[in-house]
Amino acid sequence: MRTSELFAELAGTDDEAERARILEAVLVLNIPVAESIASRYRGRGVGDDDLEGVARLALVKAVRRYDTGSGHDFLSFAVPTIRGEIKRYFRDSGWMIRPPRRIQEVQAGIAAVESELGARLGTSPRPSELAAALEVDLSDVEEALAARGCFVPASLDRPVGEAGEMPLADLLGDVDPAQGAAEARAVLGPLVSRLSERDRRVIELRFFSGLTQREIAEDIGVTQMQVSRLLSRILRDLRRGLESVPETLVEAR
């Protein structure tokens, strides 16, 4: 039975048990839709089970709130509701995310060639030299380098302190993933909140919505080169902020 037919049945009965049965049938019928939407947000640092759980809860909300007299079909209401709840979850989870997949791939490439290239050149390779070696855009290399240390769990493994001898994770103590997420929010939340409205918009579009630099440029009305520079500066500022946090955390414990 189609969703529209189920809602037509729902409108024709006042029996609570029957209404509950119909609503459950609507949920079961549309779970694949919720899971399909959730799948589009994979690879951003949130587990698949968590994503699907958020999507299913959003589907429940959509089923309960849908107005059969609105003149719109159910999916035109449910799909934006599910997407909105997932995006809100990412925002509320606060930086338990990774860079876009493309940037992760570039970071892996840099890690693979950086030492060898540096030995051959006799000095640390410049971003342009890394880009040439990897045959990728310079802007991708610059973003990959700027993003180092700004994301969990990498930031928790980053050496900190005056001598740089202790990783942040050791200062925080033994934590499970859920506690790690809370620590990440506590550390990064104040840093992100101090960003300008435009900087927060750039971060949201790049790391939550997965937009390319070109798409971000169109959204905020600047050039792609300006977006590349913005991202480099924002991530550099966040990384510097992270480096100054552990001493405060230690004093507070």
User: Does residue 245 sit in the same domain as residue 134?
Assistant: yes
- CATH number, domain at 68? 1.20.120.1810
State the CATH number of the domain containing residue 157. 1.20.140
Domain endpoint, select from 61, 77, 93: 93
> What is the gyration radius of the CA atoms in the chain, in angstroms?
23
Q: Tokens at residue 205, please?
A: 């579009």
Which of 93, 123, 145 is a domain's end point?
93
Statement to judge: residues 54 and 119 lie in one domain? no
Q: Are residues 108 and 79 in the same domain?
A: no
Angle at the Cα of 45 from the Cα atoms of 244 and 208, rounded to 5 degrees: 85
Q: Give the separation between CA 161 and CA 171, rounded to whole angstroms.
A: 10
Interatomic CA distance for residues 160 and 151, integer angstroms: 15
Residues sharing a CB contact under 8 Å with residue 143, sequence separation 6 or more, in sequence order? 99, 103, 106, 213, 228, 231, 232, 235
Residues 173 and 210 in one domain: yes
Residue 168, pLDDT > 70, answer no
- 109 and 80, same domain (yes or no): no
If we measure between CA atoms, which residue out of 57, 63, 56 comes closest to residue 77? 63
Name the β-bridge partners of 187.
none
CA angle 242, 237, 188 (to 5 degrees): 40
pLDDT class of 187 with cuts at 50, 70, 90: low
Quote the domain boundaries for residue 89: 3-93
Last residue of a domain, one of 93, 128, 150: 93
Q: What is the mean pLDDT of residues 98-121?
A: 83
Q: What is the distance in angstroms between the CA of the first residue and the CA of the last residue of the chain? A: 58
- Same domain for 106 and 71, yes or no, is no
Reported as a single tens digit per residue, the pLDDT across 65-75 is 998 888 888 99
Burial of 21-34, coded b for 16+ CB within 10 Å and e otherwise, reads ebbebbbeebeebb
Is 94's pLDDT higher than 50? Answer: no
> 32-51: per-residue pLDDT in tens?
999 999 888 776 666 778 88
Tell whether 125 and 73 lie within a shared domain.
no
251 pLDDT exceeds 60?
no
**The pLDDT value given to residue 185:** 52
CA distance 18 to 251: 59
Q: Are residues 42 and 167 in the same domain?
A: no
CB 144 within 8 A of CB 106: yes
User: Do 111 and 165 sit in the same domain of this protein?
Assistant: yes
**133 and 88 assigned to the same domain:** no
Q: In this predicted model, which residue has the larger pLDDT, 81 or 244? A: 81
Same domain, 139 and 247: yes
What value does the mean pLDDT of the chain take?
Answer: 76
Are both 64 and 84 inside the same structural domain?
yes
Best CA proximity match to 213, nearest among 108, 148, 143, 149: 143
- Other beta carbons within 10 angstroms of residue 117's beta carbon come to 19
Identify which has the larger pLDDT, 244 or 170: 244
Total number of domains constituting the chain: 2
Q: Do the beta carbons of residue 48 and residue 77 sit within 8 Å?
A: no
